[in-house]
Amino acid sequence: MTTLTPPQSDLLANRGNLSVTNSARTFDYLDYGKDAWHQDRCIAARMAEADPALAEQMALHHKARESVIDAVCRTFPQVIDLGCGLPTMRRALHERVRALWGNEARTIYVDHDLAVLAAARAWWEHPARVAGVRVTALDLDLRCPEILVNALGEYLDLSVPVGVISTLTLDHLEDEELTGLVEALAAGLAPGSGWGITHLSGMNGAAEVYTGQAVEQGVDTRLVARDQSKVQELFEGAGWERWQTLTLHEPPSEKPLIAALTTLS
């Protein structure tokens, strides 16, 4: 008789087996961070073997993330970071928003990984609140976008345009999940809101390795390979229509990282 086990999330709380695939730590390693464990470094190495261009895209990601964050922070005093990941030594997003907008600044960090949230609360949310800066770390799954929009409404003024940032996060959503997210935010945010995005380009081999291991372990997180036209199509179909690509590659690369800003009509 086959025994059915429920899908296991990569959240710490649900994890009986500490060797399961974890996005935040795997990509922290690929991003030259310090928080990866042995199993994360192994899967990252297999991904890079399957797609040698992964290292180049990850190296460019530093520059891309900075450009996207700068563009969004300069335009909006209220900013939401979807899939914020582990805090690093880089200047935190909420500090930039605060420096630019003073008391108007509000920053929301969202993730579904409890280890990420524990670190985000300790390094970002708590010290910011002590200093009187409005920062909130929310434990939410982007695959439940209506809950996300309701929660955002509790902390932000959604009657005015706000800034959204997702750097290497949307790669973890299947097409229909991504469509659900961009549609829910299009319905819940004011026209003129902006979204800064980075997303791997291509990387079918790396996605196959990551997702293959997740499936094998019964973990419900995926890595989905897309090219720019696919990402753009999913956004534009949901009303995020003014797509502006950020150019990062000098000289142009064969598989450039996707980095863009898009605006809600």
Residue selected from 35, 40, 111, 125 as contacting ligand SAM according to rule CB under 6 A: 111
Nearer to ligand SAM, 31 or 256 (CB): 31
CB proximity list for 18: less than 8 A, separation 6 or greater: 37
Token look-up 């979204």 returns 195
Give the residue among 170, 145, 176, 156 at the shortest CA–CA distance from 228: 170
Whichever of 69 and 105 has its CB closer to ligand SAM, that residue is 69
Instruction: By CB under 6 A, name the one of 94, 96, 98, 112 that touches ligand SAM.
Output: 112
Structure tokens at 29: 């390693």
- List of residues 6+ apart from 103 with CB closer than 8 A: none
Q: Rounded to whole angstroms, how far apart are CA atoms 70 and 93?
A: 9
Site string for ligand SAM, 65-104 (x = CB under 6 A): x-----------------xxx-------------------
Stretch that binds ligand SAM, among 141-149, 152-160, 187-195, 250-258 (CB under 6 A): 141-149
With CB under 6 A as the contact rule, which of the stretches 50-58, 66-74, 110-118, 235-243 interacts with ligand SAM? 110-118
Confirm if 214 and 7 have CB atoms less than 8 A apart: no
Distance CA 107, CA 74 (A): 13
Question: Using CB under 6 A as the criterion, which residues of the chain lie in contact with ligand SAM when the complex forms?
Answer: 23-24, 27, 31, 65, 83-85, 111-113, 116, 141-143, 167-169, 172, 221
